[in-house]
Structure 1
């Protein structure tokens, strides 16, 4: 058994765990009870922050999981360009986290928070579009094969 085959076994569990984490986070975020009127909303904000970290982690797991080639193991056989889209989605997710941190930690560089926020607002949709685009591309290929047969 080669290293590629051993890694290929992990494609669906890692990607599936990432998708489940994102779905669980979205459900939890949708069911957060509103803060009482006399509250300052600190707890709600803290929960939102940790759910955001959870969603980001799940997205990263899903993107990297789909990027693993299945080898000889059962899995989804994405082509090289689709896997590159998934790696790009993971890279954009990591960079979207790094942009605000750079703006906060290195104010002398001249990167203001406005630039960091705009960068974050561009990178997150790009990451999501890359992941959804790669999955949609593979789904369209699978449908085309079924229709032709």
Structure 2
């Protein structure tokens, strides 16, 4: 038993020093009455503490009654002065290749954290993210929350 103590100690030290702290900032907006109107975009403000390149994530929560297997949305990003940084369109799949709801769920609520292939250079500042739904239904029913997550990319660590 005593001969395994150094091995366990070495493995523990390697695990502690090999773990990297990943800073993720997320915020979601509630969709009133779970009816997302095209006239009422979800607006998220996030503070960025370090100037770096960030990976963006679209965060969505819906019920099982949501009619579609995707969400088409427009996302715009502005700094605190109102200067636009970027605007882009997203067609986010909400199902797995087998056709089942993706993400995680509790009962009939489904949470999605969808990585957007849009790395973005952000400086220390506060940013406003505006998410507008572009689906054919207006309002879009059974969508509870929409939001944004940002994570420093590995080049910055």
Instruction: State the TM bucket, normalised to the shorter chain.
Output: under 0.3
* Higher-helix-fraction structure: 1
Where relative contact order (Cα < 8 A, 6+ residues apart) is larger, the structure is 2
* TM-score, structure 2 normalization: 0.22
* TM-score, structure 1 normalization: 0.22
* Higher-strand-fraction structure: 2
